[in-house]
A = this chain, B = another copy of it.
Amino acid sequence: MKHIEIYDTTLRDGTQAEDINLSTEDKIKIALKLDELGVRYIEGGWPGSNPVDRSFFSDIENYALKTARIAAFGSTHHPNFQAQEDPNLRAIIESGVSTATIFGKSWDVHVKEALRVTEQRNLEIVHDSVAYLRQKLSEVLFDAEHFFDGFKANPDYALAVLRQAYAAGARVLVLCDTNGGSLPSEVATITASVRKALPDAALGIHAHNDCELAVANSIAAVQSGATHIQGTMNGVGERCGNANLCSIIPTLEQKFARTYQCLPEGRLPQLTRISHFVSEVANVQPFSRQPFVGRSAFAHKGGIHASAVNRMASLYEHMDPEEVGNRQRVLLTELAGRSNIVSIARRFGFHLDKDEPVVKGLLKELKDNASLGYDYAAAEASVELLLFKKLARRGVRQFFRLINFRVIESKQGRDAEPMSEATVMVEVEGVEEHTAASGRGPVNALDNALRKALSGFYPRLNEMRLLDFKVRVLNGSKRSDGGTASVVRVLIESGDQHSRWVTVGVSFNIIEASWQALVDSITYKLYKDEGEQRAKLG
């Protein structure tokens, strides 16, 4: 099998996407997952350009990565400097990486119009930049910007640029389709020409999706001899995005009769989970029709397909969805079967039969709620709670009952900070508790008031923290009464010293949706602690 190096640039080129902004902490989280997936390189950012990128390189040193190397990005040195004086190249060295990737001009018109130097001066700049970094670091990769456009305009000059970088010690020459306008047939022919001109150099491909051809262009380059692919998770990136690694990796590993290997053995089934993780951290809606990893990728709606798929999945599926960690969905009979419910109940010590009414009733409730927007795939704790409530008659207790709440937001004057105050009246252990609290925002005030009411009875609530809070507006653009009356879904992630759990709330009212998720989160903690105690005693 031929090994293909996967070079992920989600953290650098990916953040050029209009709707993607990552903090240093977001970047660290994503880098750790990319390492789990098993990519060869993670491009962390451009140390010379901004504080988030700089702090990423110092923070990531605290983690021991298993398979990935961290690469820093930058450009060839400024025409007015020597390589060793260039602040940009120095920032790369100071970032502490052992791998640098620098881009340089390979299209003659860019040398003239954008860089504004002679063709000869650009060759020196490329050579000196690579050579200087090569002295200081263990490896240098060279991104030949606009390579395909450059080759079409002036093949000799484009090749001369690659030769300079290669002679100066670049380990990989990466052919970039920076503007995304090249066709697979062009990429195949030009890559093959480069392969012939520089037979010993390792070649890479960096494609953009402006013609919806980035995946095809990356694969065409590999078929013509490239062994290194640059791309991003879910294809995020500037304009129409970069080449989508979530499509390239499974296509190369699954569609070429085991000719190519991109990830360490056994990692491909992590793909769907890690793709969704990246979307969550970046807070972008996952694209449901996304190949391989999308929610609809293996969803069958057509009556004919759906019944045939039940008989023999390979008739209407190009591969087994589990190879990429996704699953087949036959719509209409959509949600979890009764056997899933039985197995969840078992985890909590309740032995149910598939045919019991409580199981059927819960299945119906799950389906009805899912159609309203409750995302149970993300919020398993809320599913477990629905189960607990259904089982209430079998001795599962109710910890508290809401009588009412009120939240008041008031703002005095344009520049004043608003005041948030909540009152909560609940019945807990037969006692009526009425509390008030303020907070930083309405949900925080409600959370504070509810805990005040409960924590005297359940002191272990003090162990619990709210870790994350996500809001998504469903069907945002269509309601005749305007977007602010749209349905809102809130996911709250909570944790204590032992575990983390996610709960969901849905309402047209963001306070109500938050309240649902908050109440579920606290109730889940109480059930969980009781279950642990029962397990200890039993």
Contact = CB atoms under 8 A, between A and B. Distances in A.
Interface of A: 16-19, 21, 23, 25, 49-50, 109-110, 113-114, 178-181, 183-185, 209-213, 215-216, 219-220, 223, 235-241, 244, 247, 250-251, 255, 283, 285, 287-292, 294-303, 305, 308, 311-312, 315-319, 331, 334, 375, 377-378, 401-414, 417-418, 420, 439-444, 447, 465-478, 481-486, 488, 492-493, 507-512, 514-515, 518
B472 A483 contact: no
Contacts of A305: 238
Given A404-B410, A442-B511, A467-B482, 17 more contacts: A17-B289, A23-B474, A25-B475, A50-B334, A114-B308, A114-B311, A210-B291, A216-B216, A239-B296, A283-B478, A402-B411, A403-B412, A409-B511, A418-B512, A467-B476, A469-B483, A471-B510
Contacts of A247: 211-212
A303 B50 CA distance: 11
A255 B512 contact: no
A485 B444 contact: yes
Nearest to A208: B318
Contacts of A475: 23, 25, 283
A185 to B, nearest CB: 6
A376 to B, nearest CB: 11
Contacts of A467: 476-477, 482-483
Contact of A378 (B19, B244, B297, B331): B19
5 contacts: A16-B302, A181-B319, A441-B511, A441-B512, A471-B473
Given A444-B482, A467-B483, A484-B441, A377 B287 contact: no
A312 B439 contact: no
A182 to B, nearest CB: 8
A311 B116 CA distance: 12
A486 B471 CA distance: 12
A386 to B, nearest CB: 14
B331 A179 contact: no
A280 to B, nearest CB: 8
Contact of A114 (B315, B331, B378): B315
A289 B484 contact: no
Give 7 closest A-B pairs by Cβ, nearest first: A181-B318, A216-B216, A471-B471, A441-B509, A212-B247, A469-B483, A466-B482
A403 B292 CA distance: 54
A331 B296 CA distance: 32
A508 B443 CA distance: 10
A444 B19 contact: no
A308 B114 CA distance: 7
A107 B510 CA distance: 49
A365 B220 CA distance: 47
A262 to B, nearest CB: 14
Contacts of A478: 23, 25, 283
A442 B442 contact: yes
Contacts of A471: 471-473, 488, 510
B302 A113 contact: no
A317 B473 contact: no
B440 A481 contact: yes
Q: Which of A209, A291, A317 has the most CB of B within 10 A?
A: A291
Nearest to A447: B484
Contact of A179 (B318, B409, B485): B318
Nearest to A211: B251
B414 A405 contact: no
Contacts of A476: 285, 467-470
A332 to B, nearest CB: 11
A17 B296 contact: yes
A465 B404 CA distance: 33
A518 B482 CA distance: 12
A311 B109 CA distance: 13
Nearest to A290: B240
B404 A412 contact: yes
A475 B493 CA distance: 13
Contacts of A465: 482
A469 B441 contact: no
A19 B16 CA distance: 29
B17 A184 contact: no
Nearest to A373: B21
A49 B319 CA distance: 28
A383 B512 CA distance: 32
B219 A215 contact: no
Contact of A413 (B109, B237, B404, B488): B404
A466 B484 contact: yes
Contact of A512 (B411, B466, B492): B411
A78 to B, nearest CB: 12
A473 B477 contact: no
Nearest to A464: B482
